[in-house]
Structure 1
Amino acid sequence: MRLPNGYGSVYKLSGKRRKPFIVKKTLGYHVDYDSGKSVRDDMIIGYAETKAEGLQMLANYNNNPYDVKASNMTFKDLYEEWSERAYKTASEATISADKAAFNACEPLHNKTFINLKAKDFQYLFDTTDKNHPTMRKMKILISKMYKYAMKYDYVSKDYSEFIDISEYKDKNPNQYNRQKFTDEEVKTLWEHQDNSICQTVLMLIYSGVRVNELLNLKKENVHLEERYFDVVASKTKSGIRKVPIAEKVFQFYKSRFEDTDSEYLIHRSNGEQYKYDNYYKKHFLPLMEQLGMNHTPHCCRYTCSSMMHKAEIRETIRKKILGHSQDLINKTYTQLDIDEIVSAINLI
């Protein structure tokens, strides 16, 4: 039976194939300027095991045309297309978190995105060995991808909203004690202040910055004379701030500022920047084991907050230093502000 003009075609390809029938649709024509001939622009809708199946695919497409690109797009393809746009304006911390979440979704990478359903995503989360914080980042990433896919009509339904990780809230096999350093532990750190890693821990405790904020800190953003440094990239918008340098740890900043030509304040022996995993696994954890302590770098931030509270520093000042308050976005610091936060940090 001859198909109507413009309807499309189904025909068998040569050779031995699992799906030998190709389903095509002509979208139009263009002129080949080398030959001067008119050339047909065909779109491949798919492949079928039988001609009847191919005709059904063609009929389905003609009844409800869809984006063939989207129909063949894998989870990995969509991530790459989405991230190319999203990462142009995202912070380094956000990009790092999204990349780690994508790697954790590896079982889905080669699956066609529009064919994934709620049960497929739930199975991934039910069988993964990742802890709850990582699972939360995975869910956030999938939600971002669905938002993008719906914006460009690749899908019509967002299955990320049905992912349930509530039962895994206590799933954290690598969990460490997230409590503040005790006064005795801080005293022990000071007793080992000749140790360069001890110094970085004390710098974290007496500034309240996130570990990546310190590892990403460039010397050009450190103002020794004024006793503060600028955090120019952070996990949150309110994290972009000026952080005071406490007098107790000032010498640690000064010695690192002057030690090499590295652009980073905290750097490896060759002058290159520390990556979090390298710093955490090869330096921070061994130090904690050596000193008999059980903490993560985030405990330093918690300790700073606790010490400022104990010193009765006003909440507004604590939020300025820690970068917690949303009303600090785009705030212009005056010299009075800087003097105030420097004076406050010297109370702990």
Structure 2
Amino acid sequence: MKKANGNGSVSKLSGIRRKPYIARVTLGWDESTGRQIRKTIGTYVTQKEAQKALIDYLDNPYDLDLSNILFKDVYEKWSKLKYPKVNHSAILGYQSAYNNVEKLHNMKIKDIKARHLQEAIDSCSKGQATKKKIKFLFGQMFAYAMQNDIITKDYSEFVDIGKASEESKREPFSNKEIELLWKHIDDIEFIDTILIMIYSGFRIGELLELETKNIDLVNMTMTGGLKTEAGKNRLVPIHPKIFPLIEKRYNKDNQYLIINFKGKKMKYDNYYKEKFIPIMEQLNMEHRPHDCRHTFATLLSNANANATAIKKMIGHESYATTEKIYTHKDIEELRKNVELIK
């Protein structure tokens, strides 16, 4: 065994232990007692592993305090650098990802291998979007740990989150979930957009394309829609519950109702990844944007709204383009039906 002139040693601890062999390094001598000042490198299952750890340390000394740093400590150090550079929604996403791998929090990061990361992913009951965020968090944290000589290998690249399953069944938001969205209307950025979709039936792309010129605050209507002939330029009365949300966002100087921090139209991917997913993760919900549209249709149906009115506001193909001439009577009929939603 290499002892490097007395600079380290390997010994076996007493008792029955899972890792009975301990490797220590000599940092100096206590002048008053003449005893060695030693620090533990680690404990190991076999003598061979302990000897290798000692040799590796003596060949390339590192900060032993850093070698014992926990996963949660790396997260704390990394987040202090990362969070001031990203928006609030991104922070919520990272926090949710971290909270979903609690079993790793108190592990030394140098002891965390690919299998530990994979087990954390596999045991997560959340959807694909959450698992992607967890893997991304792993990559960020392990990169930080390597940059700061805490670890020597990045195992995060070996994590497999699997392929997205076939399009899952559309699940409307429950009444309790809708109540929770309203509860956080003042403290979670962009949560209003989810409620607007739930009470209007607009797809995410349709909401992002909605121009202020097509919003009539006086008559409380919105005209928009994409995708199909039946869905284009459909008129939807603004439900009284979301009128204050739309009114707050409305700015005639902006071309679009929903804009990014630059005052421009927000892209679908940016909205979905930076806004929608973090909100779902923070509130512990499992939904996709299209579930908002499904919720609107479900709420109308549950309130016994007129089937024709539902088709008109949703924009189904069965509502032919030739019928889309809205009279005052039409608008009032649609409004009466949309306001059936409580």
TM-score, normalising length: structure 2: 0.48
